[in-house]
Structure formats: C-alpha cells, structure tokens
Amino acid sequence: MRKNRLEQRAWAFRATLAIAALAAIGFPAAAEDWPQWRGPGRDGVWNETGIVDAFTSSTLPIRWSAPIGPGFSGPTVAEGRVYVSDRVTEPEEAERVHCFDWRTGEPLWTHSNATRYQVDYPHGPRTSITIETGRAYSQGAMGHLDCLDAATGAVIWEKELVDDYEYSQPTWGFSASPLVEGDVLIVQVGGAEGACVVGFDTATGAERWRALDDQVSYSAPIVIEQAGRRVVVCWTGNNLAGLDPGTGEILWNVPTKAKNMVHNVATPVVGGDRIFLTAFYDGSRLLRLKQDELGVEELWLRRGITENKTEALHSMIGTPVMIGDYVYGVDSYGQLRCLDAKNGDRVWEDLTAVPEGRWATIHMVQNGGRTWMFNENGELIISELSPEGFHEISRALLIEPTTDMSQRESGVCWAHPAFAYKHVFARNDRELICAGLAARE
C-alpha cells in the first residue's frame, strides 16, 4: 500500500512538471513579446533570462522554417504569433502581411495588397509590423497603410497615403516603422502642408494631427519621458523634433539638414539625458535632453570629409547602442567602433564582427551585460562591449544571407531579428525561421 502511495505521489509530481513544461510552451504571453521595431521599448533591449551563455556548434539548430518572399521587414512577435511582410511578383505584384503560430510556424493568415513598386532596391517592404491591443499596423514601401485584426487578418481600416497626401516618394520607399502611443498611430508620411508626420486614430484611421514641413527619413520614431511628459521623437529628413503624441504640437525642434541626401536610417539612441544620432553622410551628433523643461541642446557634432574618411560614426542601417558613457556602432564600411560619448572621440575599432563593405550592417540587442549581434552574413554573435574592446564570446550561423546587393559578391541579411519566448526569429528572402536560445536547466 505504502509503495502504491509513493508511486502515485511520484507520478503526480512528474505530471505536475510535465504540465508546467507544457504551460511554458503553450502560454508564451507569460514571456516577453517583441511586438514592434527593436522590441517592447523600441530600444533594442531584450529582458528575458535563462538564455544560453554560448553556442554549442557553429550552426544554430532551427525549430521551424516557413517559406516567404523577399523583403527587409524584420519579424515581430506578440501573443503567440509571429508577423512579417514580403513581396511577390507572380501572379501579380503585391505586398503581403503574414501571421504564423510561434510554436510550429504554421501559417495562420495572410493579407495581400496589389502594389506596384517604384523604389530603388525593390526587394520588398521595409517596416516591421507593429502589434498593439489586438491590432496589427503595417506600412508598405509605397505607402499603403493597413490596420488589421492581429488574430484573424481582417481589415479594420486601410489607407493609400499617395491618394490622401501630396508627397515625394522616398528613394528607398517608406521604411520608418509606425509607432502606437495611446490611441494614436504615428507615421512618417512626408505630405505637403505640414504633414511630414501624421497621427491617425488607431481605431478608425481618421487623421488626428499633422506636424512638420519636411521630407521623410527612414528612421523610426520613438517615445521618451521628458520633464514629466511623454514625448514622441521623430527624426525626419532635416529635423529632429519632439512632438506631443496626442496633438502633434512641436515641443522642440533641432534642424539636422542633410549634407548630401537624406540617409537618416538608424533610430535615435537614448541613454539617460542624452540622445545620439548617426547617418551615413552626416556623421554623428549628441544632444542633451533637458530634464526640467521641454528642450534639447547640442553637445557635439562630428562629420567626416567623405564616406571613407569618417569621424565618430557614419552608420547606415544598424542602430548603435549606448552603454554608460560609450557608444558602440558600425561605421560606413563595416568598422565596429567605440566612441567616447563626451566628445565623439574614437576609443577603438574592430573589423571582425561584420565583413567590410559599403553599408555594412549589424543589428545589436542588449541582454543584461551582453550584446547580441546579428550581422549581414546571417551570423548571431554573443559579445561583451566595453571601452577595453570587443569581446566575442560565441558565434553561430543563424540563417543564410540571400538578398542580392550590387555592393556585395554574396548575399546579405539586412532585416532585424526578433527575440521572444527564449527564441530568435529571423528572415531572409526565402524563409522565416525560429531557433531556440534557452539555456538547459
């Protein structure tokens, strides 16, 4: 009898563990989503724990893969679903938004818009899908704006910005991922009559406000806390502006007129009371965010003579990180650099993280004291960054680089990955993949 009871208790204990394990797999909402560009806070910070310290092989084992078409849209993850967009040319030219089950890669729904591309590098859409309160917001390369039901893909509202706003088409298409703040969807439109940035009602799509007479850039807006208020920071073609998210009122503005043409791609980086900007032709600048009032002051600007003879950082696609009093980012031709934030002086340079090449790209995400890097070769790198140098801990191939670029002999991966549920989600021009990153218990 005693043996049977012990066996029953042991069975119950094992069953409890099994249920707990299934719950962990089946209810990802308990973990942290990656619902928008660069993560929950749009700051490239990944807060999950229980992650591997190093890779066990030179190639990461893939949990699942799903076929998709070309595009630069980085995946996003929310409420157990993965979202990404792509482009097809047959049977007709169209942009598509896809939704997959995060556990299996099973396709859940696809929404398609007939779209004729008239942009350079017409590989596919650029912006990440923004997920907020059950809605998925997508902006295509040619300006088609969708609000979809995140669970079903049903259209809630949609807009053709080219029909509603007189604007100049960006050379590389619309690339700044839309931002939701409260009940307002904030989009870089580039329209005439003060409609460079437009706030739309998230539920209806009605225009709530417009701001700035300027052309668009490719840099995604962010939200900061300043002087006790929420402030939307938008880096447009020739201005860095702080806007009231509810009304679009310009709270402060700093002209940042481009030297050559607009190459503002990297997202503004905030560290404490400082905000850092970098662009391919225009170098770097650091500004101080005033804390007792709504305003900023420029601390320094460093701009090189050419794209080859650079000062500080002339970044193209990858957004740098600021750790303490130092900035880390990739320069115009793939040089990973550390800058002293006090003045922009270069502390060190490394050429091993990303291959040399014009517009060389690496995406960086901070997890605790470690920086996870995804380079254009499709490699995932675990590293530590400090003023003493770049310390590579581990590196493994995550996904094959397939995008054909005129500047490269081989393909590239330029889309930002997503980190959620102790997994990484990445895409190239052929597939979306999911790989596990959980440490073994």
pLDDT of amino acid 441? 53
pLDDT by residue for the chain (441 residues), tens only, comes to: 333 333 333 433 333 333 334 344 444 445 799 999 999 999 999 999 999 999 999 999 999 999 999 999 999 999 999 999 999 999 999 999 999 999 999 999 999 999 999 998 899 999 999 999 999 999 999 999 999 999 999 999 999 998 899 877 788 999 999 999 999 999 999 999 999 999 999 999 999 999 999 999 999 999 999 999 999 999 999 999 999 999 999 999 999 998 888 999 999 999 999 999 999 999 999 999 999 999 999 999 999 999 999 999 999 999 999 999 999 999 999 999 999 999 999 999 999 998 889 999 999 999 999 999 999 999 999 999 999 999 999 999 999 999 988 777 789 999 999 999 999 999 999 999 999 999 985
Amino acid making up residue 75: P
Instruction: Please report the sign of the dihedral spanned by the C-alpha atoms of residue 292, residue 298, residue 300, residue 302.
Output: positive
Residue 107: DSSP 8-state: E
Strands 283-289 and 296-302 come out as antiparallel
- Are 87 and 95 spatial neighbours (Cβ–Cβ below 8 Å)? yes
Q: In whole angstroms, what is the distance from residue 301 CA to residue 343 CA?
A: 8
pLDDT of amino acid 168? 74
Neighbouring C-beta atoms of residue 94, cutoff 10 Å: 17
Q: Which residues pair with 362 in a beta bridge?
A: 375
398 CB-contact burial (10 Å; exposed 0-12 / middle 13-18 / buried 19+): buried
- Are 69 and 86 spatial neighbours (Cβ–Cβ below 8 Å)? yes
96 φ/ψ angles, rounded to the nearest 5 degrees: -130, 145
Amino acid making up residue 143: G
315 CB-contact burial (10 Å; exposed 0-12 / middle 13-18 / buried 19+): buried
- Are 316 and 329 spatial neighbours (Cβ–Cβ below 8 Å)? no
- Are 149 and 157 spatial neighbours (Cβ–Cβ below 8 Å)? no
Amino acid making up residue 420: A
Does 283 fall in a domain? yes
Q: In whole angstroms, what is the distance from residue 218 CA to residue 199 CA?
A: 17
- Are 435 and 424 spatial neighbours (Cβ–Cβ below 8 Å)? yes
pLDDT of amino acid 29? 45
Q: For 427, how many CA atoms within 13 A lie in the half-sphere containing its CB? A: 30
Does 22 fall in a domain? no
Amino acid making up residue 235: W
Q: For residue 323, give every residue at least 6 positions away whose Cβ sits within 8 Å of its Cβ, in sequence order, or none.
A: 271, 366, 371, 385, 386
pTM, two decimal places: 0.92
pLDDT of amino acid 229? 97
Q: In whole angstroms, what is the distance from residue 110 CA to residue 136 CA?
A: 12
Nearest to 62 by CA among 104, 110, 106, 107: 104
Instruction: Please report the sign of the dihedral spanned by the C-alpha atoms of residue 316, residue 130, residue 88, residue 59.
Output: positive
Instruction: Please report the sign of the dihedral spanned by the C-alpha atoms of residue 423, residue 154, residue 147, residue 84.
Output: positive
| Segments forming the whole domain that contains residue 341 | 33-436
pLDDT of amino acid 413? 95
| Dihedral angle over CA of 184, 38, 53, 322, nearest 10 | -110
- Are 379 and 400 spatial neighbours (Cβ–Cβ below 8 Å)? no
Residue 267: DSSP 8-state: P
* Alpha carbon separation from 387 to 232, 333, 339, 380 (Å, rounded): 31, 21, 8, 22
Does 17 fall in a domain? no
Does 9 fall in a domain? no
Q: In whole angstroms, what is the distance from residue 366 CA to residue 377 CA?
A: 20
Q: For residue 305, give every residue at least 6 positions away whose Cβ sits within 8 Å of its Cβ, in sequence order, or none.
A: none
The CATH number of the domain where 142 resides is what?
Answer: 2.130.10.10
Q: Which two tokens stand for residue 171?
A: 């050379």
Count of domains observed in the chain: 1
pLDDT of amino acid 170? 87
pLDDT tens figures, 288-328:
999 999 999 999 999 999 999 999 999 999 999 999 999 99
Does 28 fall in a domain? no
Q: In whole angstroms, what is the distance from residue 298 CA to residue 327 CA?
A: 16
pLDDT of amino acid 408? 77
Does 19 fall in a domain? no
Does a cis peptide bond (omega within 30 degrees of 0) precede residue 91?
Answer: yes
Q: In what order do the strands lie in the sheet with 144-149?
A: 130-132, 135-139, 144-149, 155-160
